[in-house]
Structure formats: C-alpha cells, structure tokens
Amino acid sequence: MPRILVLCCLLLGLAACRGSDGSGAGPAPVAPHPFPARTPGVPAGYREVLCPDLRGDGTGLTARLVVPVTTTGGQASGGSCSFSQDFDRGIGVEIAPTRTLTQWRRTHLDPFEADRGDGGDDAVSDIVHDTGVPGFDGVRGEELAWRSYNDGSPTRSLVVLAAGVRLSWTVPEDVELDRDAFDLVRRSVALVEGTEARCPSWGRADRPTLSFSPPKDIGWVERDGDHCRISVEGSPTLLEYGAVDPTPPPLDHLAARVRHDPEAQRVRLERGVGRIDGQPADRLTWLVVREKETESYEPPGTWRIVVLQSAAARVEWGATPAWWRTHRSTYDDLVASVRVSPGPPSPP
C-alpha cells in the first residue's frame, strides 16, 4: 500500500482502509459510549472542534477535542474526521473503528517494514507498538508509532486507540512529534450524544462559528474557502451539494451574479420568508438548466438551488427537482439544526 494512502488512513480514520487484517486474530475494539473529557477546557493556541458520526447505522455520537489554531482544513466522513495543517501533517479521530491497532499493523505496516533508507517509497521503519498506555475515559489502550518514507516526504505518526476512539497525529520527519502536545489533545477528547459539526474547524478560535447536524449517509463535509461544503457521494455534478457559511457576503451580490449566469432561470429573491436560529432570513432560489455536457464534464440536466441567509449565517442546497420533491425534509432539518455562536468581543 503506498504511504500516501496510509497517511490518508490515519487522517480520515481506519474506515478509509477496510480490507482484511491478514489473520483475523486479536480482539475487536470495544463499542464506544459517551464520556467526558479529562481536560474539558480550551488552552491558548487551540480551538475546539467536533467530529460527528455521519453513518446512518452508526453510533449517534460526536467526538469533541481541541486542535491547534494553525489547523487549515477539516473533513468529516463516515465515523472519522481529519484536521490538517499541511498535506503531511494533521490530527485524525475515528469513532468505533472496526480493527485494533494490532490488526491494522499486520496489514499496513509489517509487510513494508525495512531498515531506515531501505525498502523504497513504500517503506516504514521505527515501529513501536505498546499496550496498556493512557487512553480515554480512564481506559488503557494501544499505542502505535512509526516512520513512513511516504514517497520521498518522510513522516512520523503516533496513534492511540481506547474506549472505542482512535486518535492520530502525523508530522513531517523534520518536525518534532511533540508527545506533550499529543497528550494535551488526548486529554481533551470526549464523546457526546448526537451528531453535530462545527464550521469553521480551522484558524482562530475567536471568529463567528456555526454548529449544525449534517445529513447522514449523504457524503462528506469539508472546508471550501471560508465555508463548509457537504459533498454528495457519487454525484456526477458539483450542483448537488449543501453548504453552511458563518461569514456570508451579502445575498444581493450572489443574486446579481446568478442573474448574469446564462444557465440560470427563474431567479427569485424573497425577503424575510425564513429563519435561521430564530433570526429572519431571506431566500434566493433559481434553476440551473444545462443543455449539454460542459468542457469540465459537468452533465446536462436541471437543478434547483436554494440559499437561505440571515445576518449571521447562510445555508444552501442544490439538487434535482425530483430530489426536492422527495427529500425536502433533509434540507429543512439541516436549516433547523444550525446554531450561531459569535466569537467573544475584541479586547479594547
């Protein structure tokens, strides 16, 4: 398995790397349950983030933890989330992984182990595997550390699994893997009832923030500029999506752009027809009618776009007219779940 894929497995969770463990031996991970963080506060230089289990048959839980404010991106998919700083560094968390670290190591590390400098692009080395280490909720766990050559961009990784939660941290080889910082994040981990995400999950912690419940079994949530995009799994077009934005530009500006789009029809801007977190909201709707495939392979078809915006939040969704007729409640539930959390006032 290429090391780039192993890195993705770490940041997105073991769910990204199912497959056989090669032996079937070893106990299965324990089922997760709600538990508090050992250290519930948010230290300076960190921000609180949430990782919801978005599987329809999942646990119905959300992991809470803190990550450095230098985090530049976030993604949630299935039961796992990644909070990245660069391509080769970041924090990953997974709820209810299906395999122990012993099982995962047998498939994804042991076959590629080599002495430092040997083994080529797929090589791993410096594997250290411990049990009985500090975990979560007072439960001892497994810990796995190793070095990956990673196609010429070496990284070091550290993972702990306990109480049905897996936490990982990956950094470039020339950056110290700070165990004190890792332990700070580990002690911040909690599991809470419900499935809630937060936008943004990157940058300073004093900016306006939205919490929301993404639809389950739809796709994944990730950073897209200054907002969070809900991408639909298997969709052939970018016009089937959702989005929440805690710092939206004026809706009039979007309406003006849409009216100049040759594919846009039936553009309609309505004032005060909705609400977001109790605040009045305007609604912009239009149809995209495309007669033929575009140069970027976007298919022909018809889609309805709905944008609801208050003074502090924007929620939008794009789908076919048929989807709107049968799944409108998915959009309504998303809007109803949004909560606005303004940041603290700036110091005088």
Structural domains in the chain plus CATH codes: 3-199 (3.40.1000), 224-341 (3.40.1000)
Per-residue pLDDT of the chain (348 residues; tens, 9 = 90+): 444 444 445 555 544 454 444 444 446 678 999 999 999 999 999 999 999 999 999 999 999 999 999 999 999 999 999 999 876 689 999 999 999 999 999 999 999 898 655 556 778 999 999 999 999 999 999 999 999 987 778 899 999 999 999 999 999 988 888 999 999 999 999 999 999 999 999 988 888 999 999 999 999 999 999 999 999 999 999 999 999 999 999 999 999 999 999 999 999 999 999 999 999 999 999 999 999 999 999 999 999 999 999 999 999 999 999 999 999 999 999 999 999 997 444 444
User: Residue 330: how many CB atoms within 10 A of its CB?
Assistant: 16
Task: Provide the whole-model pTM.
Answer: 0.88
Distance (Å, rounded) from C-alpha 82 to C-alpha 253?
Answer: 33
Alpha-carbon dihedral sign for residues 152, 156, 160, 164: negative
User: Residue 177: how many CB atoms within 10 A of its CB?
Assistant: 18
The answer to whether 270 and 261 have CB atoms below 8 angstroms apart is: no
- Give the pLDDT score at 11: 54
The answer to whether 79 and 54 have CB atoms below 8 angstroms apart is: yes
- Give the pLDDT score at 251: 98
- Give the pLDDT score at 86: 74
- Give the pLDDT score at 278: 95
Give the burial string for 189-207 (b: 16+ CB within 10 Å, else e).
Answer: bbbbeebbbbbbbbeebee
- Give the pLDDT score at 177: 87
- Give the pLDDT score at 149: 85
Alpha-carbon dihedral sign for residues 290, 292, 293, 294: negative
Sheet (strand 190-193) strand order: 46-52, 61-68, 190-193
- Give the pLDDT score at 15: 45
Alpha-carbon dihedral sign for residues 92, 95, 99, 103: positive
- Give the pLDDT score at 119: 55
